[in-house]
A and B are shown apart, each in its own frame.
Chain A
Amino acid sequence: AQSVTQLGSHVSVSEGALVLLRCNYSSSVPPYLFWYVQYPNQGLQLLLKYTSAATLVKGINGFEAEFKKSETSFHLTKPSAHMSDADEYFCAVSEGSQGNEKLTFGTGTRLTIIP
């Protein structure tokens, strides 16, 4: 069974500082990994995804994540936080192939930016 653990339900960083949101996964097969952002009272927008190509994945809004198989991690980073980055972020894992793409999500990390 696949699972995701997001360490830290709340993370606060100063504007301009490094953002680091942690995600560890468990999967019995090579995983597909995703980071989504959820805007208030809205659905989820995909930030980036890892699908067994390059281990360093670049996404939208300056975010990137590195897949580390030895650590079973897929942490999300951004070099310089902006006030507009304050939202909730979810890490997710999928083991499926086309037509069988169940996503298992972590419990989320709420990012607060301190002016």
Chain B
Amino acid sequence: DAGVTQSPTHLIKTRGQHVTLRCSPISGHKSVSWYQQVLGQGPQFIFQYYEKEERGRGNFPDRFSARQFPNYSSELNVNALLLGDSALYLCASSFGFNEQFFGPGTRLTVL
């Protein structure tokens, strides 16, 4: 079975731009979570979606938004990019039992 996939792998944006990151969960997984990992730190929780409903939101500004589609894939959107948004964005999916499977991440650089 394919694992969690994320696209793109890398991207470079400039301040003020908008970005959309995509995630496809493992087949059969209905929950998708997003995390931000700044260099040198642990991942920070951004959002969780389960059955297309938002189940949790971390301490991030409203510039961050997400959605989950009927096929359980998900998008993370970030508006008005700041230099501090440069990070590795990780997507994780789960079937339940609190075990989350992580994708390889999208490396976002904001110039």
Contacts and interface: CB of A to CB of B under 8 A. Distances in A.
Interface residues of B, number: 29
Interface residues of A, number: 26
A82 to B, nearest CB: 23
Contact of A101 (B41, B42, B43, B98): B98
A114 to B, nearest CB: 22
A108 B37 CA distance: 11
Contacts of B31: 98-99, 101
A96 B97 CA distance: 9
Interface of B: 4, 31, 33, 35, 41-45, 48, 50-51, 55-56, 58, 90, 92, 94, 96-105, 107
Given A42-B104, A98-B96, A98-B97, 12 more contacts: A41-B107, A43-B4, A43-B90, A44-B92, A46-B100, A49-B99, A99-B51, A100-B50, A102-B33, A105-B42, A106-B42, A107-B41
5 contacts: A43-B105, A99-B31, A100-B56, A102-B48, A107-B41
